[in-house]
Amino acid sequence: MIRILSILVGLFFTLALVWSFGIGAVNFASEGLPHTAETRFHEHPKHLHLASDGPFGKFDKQQLQRGFQVYKEVCAACHSLNHVAFRDLSQLGYNEDEVKAIAAGFQVPGVDPNTGEATTRAGMPTDYFPKPFANDIAARAANNNAIPPDLSLMAKARHDGAAYVYSLLTGYQDQPAELLKDFPEAKTGPGLHYNPYFANLNLAMAPPLTGEGQVEYSDGTKSSVDQMSQDVAAFLVWTAEPTLEKRKQTGWPVLGFLLFLTVLGYMAYRNVWADKKH
């Protein structure tokens, strides 16, 4: 009885699937795969190699400092860095005084100790990076109706994060003539910028890194657009996971210990089972 019921239920599901499959197949045969500007012109991120890559990866502190400089002088105008505090910057190799000086260079929200009114004060190492806009409405109003996303976790919040940031920053270009010919309706709208590394190809952010010398690196590195993009991508890998280096360094002794334990366990197993065929 149960088997007859089960066969009937199985056939019911199969029939429903054949029905769905049939309609789907007919639609597919008549329409084919959707053909849009995105499916044809969207590109995967370019290759980017950073010192923090791979199982032995370590942060290149010099590069992180340069990346921080790019963030501070360019990106910070619109993008917040909510999860990073000034004190964290000591991990980039800045000493205590330098961290204090950097923090003091930012105005953070505060309270007037006499009147209790909202005001601003110079930042301290314990403060977090201040937000560039008071709220989302202000952010939209200033940015062509798009909210500049927080950058703290950007390197983890996109596929191939660091390479994506690097590709996006160096990927601005004119719309290919072919695209305009085949998809006239996909012409980049006013206030938008064509970038094949962005999911829908049109980005509200104007090219932020435009020319050599936009940031004057304190370590004397030549600040080409490519260099600045790599540096800020490296910096965002750090902001997304400051513990990355410690994680990889911890991993090796752990794996070494487990390997030792496993070999020891295997030898014990062979020993225990030596007289038992199985």
Contacting residues toward another protein, per CB under 8 A? 2-3, 6-7, 9-11, 13-21, 23-25, 28, 33-34, 55, 82-83, 88, 149, 152-153, 156-159, 161, 199, 240-243, 246-248, 250-251, 254-255, 258-259, 261-262, 264-266, 268-269, 271-273, 276-278
Rounded least distance, CB 69 to another protein, Å? 22
Rounded least distance, CB 87 to another protein, Å? 10
Question: With respect to another protein, which residue has the nearer C-beta, 62 or 91?
Answer: 91
Helix (H, G, I), strand (E, B) or coil at 90: helix
Buried b (16+ CB within 10 A) or exposed e, 229-257: bbbbbbbbbbbbbeebbeeeeeeeeeeee
Distances from the Cα of 232 to the Cα of 138, 173, 210, angstroms: 25, 20, 14
Rounded least distance, CB 27 to another protein, Å? 9
Question: With respect to another protein, which residue has the nearer C-beta, 122 or 255?
Answer: 255
Kind and range of the H or E element at 194?
A: strand 193-194
Question: With respect to another protein, which residue has the nearer C-beta, 137 or 199?
Answer: 199
Rounded least distance, CB 212 to another protein, Å? 32
Report the C-alpha gap between 234 and 220 in whole angstroms: 18
Q: Please state the separation of Cα 183 from the chain's center in Å.
A: 30
Question: With respect to another protein, which residue has the nearer C-beta, 181 or 276?
Answer: 276
